[in-house]
Amino acid sequence: MNRIPNAPAGLRPEAKKYWQIVNKHWVLDDDALEVLRAACFALSRQYEAQEITNKEGITYKIGSTLRQNPAFRVEIESRKQFLIAVKQLGLDVNEEKRLPGRPPGS
């Protein structure tokens, strides 16, 4: 049985779980692990920003001017970065045969 690489330090629990799930089902080379690392940090940022926007809202007022909460932009951009990284890895839960690497034990 292959050993699952440790998740990078600093990830939120949701991103650590994603790291573990991917590494449990697929053996990734070093380059793919680096892309997965980037995806997990983007996922962490997305959740962190989402917590802020859930608490503060996506907009705020300064005087009579309505402004977008900067955390909302971080949430959107982080989601994009995550999806780009997942696409680069070919991670599609509906089409496991297209994933990079090889299944553990092969």
Q: Kindly report the pTM of this predicted structure.
A: 0.81
- φ, ψ for residue 28, nearest 5 deg: -105, 145
The pLDDT tens digits for 6-63 are 999 999 999 999 999 999 988 899 999 999 999 999 999 999 999 999 999 999 999 9
Structure tokens at 4: 């699952």
CA distances for 77 relative to 2, 23, 34, 42, 83, angstroms: 34, 25, 19, 9, 10
- Burial label for 24, CB within 10 Å (0-12, 13-18, 19+), is exposed
Measured distance CA(66)–CA(84) in Å, rounded:
31
